[in-house]
Structure 1
Amino acid sequence: MSDWNVLLMGGKELPLWGFFVRATVLYWIMILITRLMGKRQIGILSGHNYLVAAGIVAISASRMTNPEHGLIEAVVILLFYSGMNILQSFLDMKFPGLIDRKPIVLIENGRILKKNLFRALVSIDELMGQLRIQGAHNPSQVAYATLEANGKVSVTKKFEYQPIQRKTIKLPETNVYLPHYLIYDGEVQHKNLEQLGLDIHWLNQKLLEKGISDPRSVFLAMLEDDGTLYISAGE
């Protein structure tokens, strides 16, 4: 049996270059099917998404190292897995709860729902840990804590424990920006300045206010989301 037949269909021995070819092909196949399955596969990772991701990794790893498994067989299985995952995601959008799990409320108005905890198989320690991560250290502060379909716990605090917003205390509105680099490693980012409607004169004035006369001495200057100019010296 030729080396190419072993590469494609499997056999007892595979030359070293064959393993390299298999690994390269399967790597790009995994990249392709990840793109086909969309950002949901990476960002949301619901139950069936997780199983497919684990299955794809396991199948690819075994086909890369075991010469008795053929490359064609591996590609067919991976494409089938991705197709089934796309179908399940479509069904999940059309019929919510039919394919994947529904959200489960764990805390309602400060009261821990014991029945739902057991249903979700979440311990008290795990729940308290998730609350602390969300900045709620006591269940009494929580209006709702919900175990989402992707396994994460979302927390909504009671009104009196929510952070104060500018509109709540009627402060004047201020501009909000996405963070933009204005200087990086001593080089002024003129394109970002233009996008923000600013110019080099404005930047130089701000630097002078901080006692900096030369932009080349700045490692990073960034306009933060609240309009504050963050400056880090080049030392």
Structure 2
Amino acid sequence: MQTDWGSLFELTMSPWELIVRGTITYWFIFALLRLAGRRDFGSVGMANILLLVMIADAAQNGMAGDYKTITEGMILIATLVFWSVLVDRLCYFVPAARVVLEANRLCLVKDGQIQRRGMRREYITEDELMAELRKNGIDDIKKVRRAYMEEAGDISVLPYRK
């Protein structure tokens, strides 16, 4: 069996179609994950998870032959990386873009009082909040000046000073 090495790099689909497909898929999944919240992602950013999953899928398609050539998979992966880098740069240089593209920290405890609205927004129970406080060495909510769910989904606690 003889392999046609030149066909590995031929395009069977327009590069622009690949770029458009990658762009639409990226923004669809980004918006979907942004609306879903961040509580299950831990300390890894949602955009990083999105990029990793999409690159893995695009690379798999390129390697397994779902695309006719490796070049198509490479164009799609480059498109995904481009959007990820652009979003990071945009958020850095245009602070107003952060409101839409990044999650803001969310106040869960303010001056020893649970902020139920914030907890409802991320579906955090009082038991889950108290478990996080105990991990930070706090056994009484009244000892907490502020507790926030950070952008990446972890909870930071600012206790009152003694």
- Could you state the TM-score of these two structures normalised by the residue count of structure 1? 0.48
Give the structure, 1 or 2, with the largest relative contact order (CA under 8 Å, sep 6 or more).
Answer: 2
Which stretches of structure 1, 4 residues or more, deviate above 4 A after TM superposition?
none
Query: Which ranges in structure 1 are unaligned for 5 or more consecutive residues?
Result: 12-43, 161-235
The residue aligned with 2:120 is 118
Distance in 2 of aligned mates of 1:61 and 1:134: 41
Question: Aligned to 2:154, which of 145, 152, 155?
Answer: 152
Tell me the percent identity.
Answer: 21
Distance in 1 of aligned mates of 2:60 and 2:79: 17
Q: Is the CA contact 1:6–1:67 (under 8 Å) kept in the aligned structure 2?
A: no
Distance in 1 of aligned mates of 2:118 and 2:107: 7
The residue aligned with 1:136 is 138
User: What letter matches 1:4 in structure 2?
Assistant: W
Distance in 1 of aligned mates of 2:7 and 2:66: 8
SS at match of 2:101: coil
Q: CA deviation at 1:55?
A: 1.3
Distance in 1 of aligned mates of 2:10 and 2:139: 58
Q: How does 1:1-235 map to 2 (within 5 A)?
A: 2-9=3-10, 45-64=44-63, 66-69=64-67, 70-93=69-92, 94-95=94-95, 96-160=98-162
Distance in 1 of aligned mates of 2:132 and 2:8: 48
Q: CA deviation at 1:3?
A: 3.4
The residue aligned with 1:21 is none
More helix by share: 2
SS at match of 1:151: coil
Q: CA deviation at 1:104?
A: 0.5
Q: Is the CA contact 2:105–2:151 (under 8 Å) kept in the aligned structure 1?
A: yes
- Which stretch has the larger CA shift, 99-108 or 122-131? 122-131
User: What letter matches 1:151 in structure 2?
Assistant: G
Query: Which ranges in structure 2 are unaligned for 5 or more consecutive residues?
Result: 13-42
**Aligned-CA RMSD value:** 2.4
Distance 1:133 1:71, change over 3 A: farther
User: What letter matches 1:8 in structure 2?
Assistant: F
- Could you state the TM-score of these two structures normalised by the residue count of structure 2? 0.67
Distance 1:89 1:61, change over 3 A: same
Radius of gyration: which is bigger? 1
